[in-house]
């Protein structure tokens, strides 16, 4: 029952002055030096965590985290707004109309200057450090459609289903082709990667029937295009969708919220790496006995699994994080 820790940018900005503005996302040298500081401080603050190693520096020369969750929206022309203490956000004034989307061409999209910017960063990393480490956040088809089209995409599903399939197919093709291009470049540098995890954070905004009709075909296409495949559903109830997820080929990773029927997930996905996304606000505010009870429930219903403790708030005491690690470690020792 491994705990995978992640911290909001404000955690690092407030303590160490790390600036997560556009320079962090576009300058591999600045990112390398900032990640060195970040890792050293994490090792010091959370000494029981074994997966941070200050002597291992390959993961500092990385494209992980670049552009946050918005690589594909930028390919489609949606600009980002950066800030020193948070991940970038999309420009709320820019969404594409049906007409603008219908005029797009996959070949033109993957030749845009933004794609060249990614390649320029990879060239710098290889020339300075060798291996091009890291994992860009490609999101999922529905997530990307929501980022590009806005909330109108959910009306489109009802009003313009043919358009939606054309749009989703185009997004899917861009995701697959660009990911394959980037990962091939990484493999050439000596960093082996051939995986794709779709982020279906918006899946609970559509019914299981809609998922099967409008999203499943593209998740399936992606799954068949890579050696390893996973599904991230954020902190949502995965239960209504597990019958469809079971049909996805090579599903090696699946995460969920703890309101999901975790025992059923374990039964249906015995070989899949399973994880629960825990609430950062609950870690910060809930009584420790409540957190302990939650961890016991997860352990007994889903383990072996991971606890993904992402987006830990800057205001969360370090003692809280260390207590979570202790609780989960004790549960493992009891097994």
Tens of pLDDT, residue by residue over 199-257, are 999 999 999 999 999 999 999 999 999 999 999 999 899 999 999 999 999 999 999 99
- Statement: residue 55 has pLDDT above 70: yes
Residue 87: name the closest of 27, 20, 19, 18 by CA. 20
Count of C-beta atoms within a 10 Å radius of residue 328: 23
User: For residues 25, 51, 313 and 138, what is the CA-based torsion angle, rounded to 10 degrees?
Assistant: 40
d(CA 30, CA 125): 12
Q: Average pLDDT in the 91-113 region?
A: 96
The β-bridge partners of 253 are 230, 273
Q: Average pLDDT in the 289-299 region?
A: 98
Q: What is the pLDDT, as a whole number, of residue 333?
A: 86
Over residues 144-179, the pLDDT tens digits come to 999 999 999 999 999 999 999 999 999 999 999 999
**Token pair belonging to 149:** 């089209």
Residue 211: name the closest of 164, 175, 278, 258 by CA. 164
Using a 10 angstrom Cβ sphere, with 0-12 exposed, 13-18 middle and 19 or more buried, the burial of residue 159 is exposed
Phi, psi angles (nearest 5°) of residue 333: -70, -25
Asked if residues 292 and 329 have their Cβ atoms less than 8 Å apart, the reply is no
- pTM listed for this prediction: 0.96
Q: Average pLDDT in the 109-120 region?
A: 97
* Domains defined along the chain, listed by start: 2-334 (3.20.20.210)
Q: How far is CA 138 from CA 5, 92, 98, in A?
A: 21, 20, 22
Does the CA dihedral 107-113-114-115 come out positive or negative? positive
d(CA 151, CA 263): 33
Summary mean pLDDT of the chain: 97
Q: What is the pLDDT, as a whole number, of residue 332?
A: 87
- Residue 137, helix vs strand vs coil: coil
Phi, psi angles (nearest 5°) of residue 110: -80, 0
Q: Average pLDDT in the 286-311 region?
A: 97
Q: What is the pLDDT, as a whole number, of residue 195?
A: 97
d(CA 103, CA 53): 48
- Residue 147, helix vs strand vs coil: helix
Q: What is the pLDDT, as a whole number, of residue 335?
A: 63
How many percent of the chain have pLDDT more than 70? Answer: 100
């Amino acid at each position: 029952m491994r705990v995978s820790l992640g911290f909001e940018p404000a955690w690092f900005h407030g303590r160490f002055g790390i600036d997560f503005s556009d320079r962090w996302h576009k300058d591999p040298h600045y990112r390398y030096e900032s990640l060195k500081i970040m890792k050293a401080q994490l090792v010091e603050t959370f000494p029981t965590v074994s997966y941070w190693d200050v002597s291992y520096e390959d993961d500092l020369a990385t494209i992980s985290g670049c552009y946050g969750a918005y690589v594909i929206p930028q390919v489609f022309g949606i600009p980002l707004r950066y800030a020193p203490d948070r991940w970038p956000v999309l420009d709320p004034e820019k969404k594409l109309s049906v007409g603008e989307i219908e005029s797009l061409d996959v070949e033109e999209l993957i030749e845009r200057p933004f794609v060249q910017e990614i390649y320029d960063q990879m060239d710098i990393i290889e020339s300075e450090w060798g291996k091009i480490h890291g994992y860009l956040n490609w999101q999922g088809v529905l997530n990307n459609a929501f980022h590009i089209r806005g909330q109108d995409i959910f009306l489109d599903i009802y009003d313009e289903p043919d358009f939606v399939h054309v749009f989703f197919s185009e997004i899917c093709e861009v995701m697959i082709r660009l990911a394959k291009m980037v990962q091939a470049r990484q493999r050439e540098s000596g960093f082996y990667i051939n995986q794709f995890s779709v982020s279906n954070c918006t899946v609970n905004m559509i019914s299981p029937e809609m998922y099967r009709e409008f999203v499943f075909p593209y998740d399936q296409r992606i799954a068949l295009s890579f050696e390893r495949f996973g599904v991230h559903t954020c902190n949502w109830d995965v239960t209504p969708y597990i019958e469809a997820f079971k049909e996805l080929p090579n599903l090696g990773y699946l995460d969920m919220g703890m309101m999901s029927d975790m025992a059923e997930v374990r039964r249906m996905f015995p070989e899949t790496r399973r994880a629960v996304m825990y609430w950062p606000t609950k870690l910060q505010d809930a009584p420790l006995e409540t957190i302990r009870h939650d961890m016991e429930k997860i352990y007994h219903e889903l383990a072996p699994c991971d606890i993904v403790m992402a987006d830990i708030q800057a205001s969360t005491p370090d003692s809280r994080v260390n207590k979570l690690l202790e609780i989960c470690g004790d549960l493992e020792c009891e097994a």
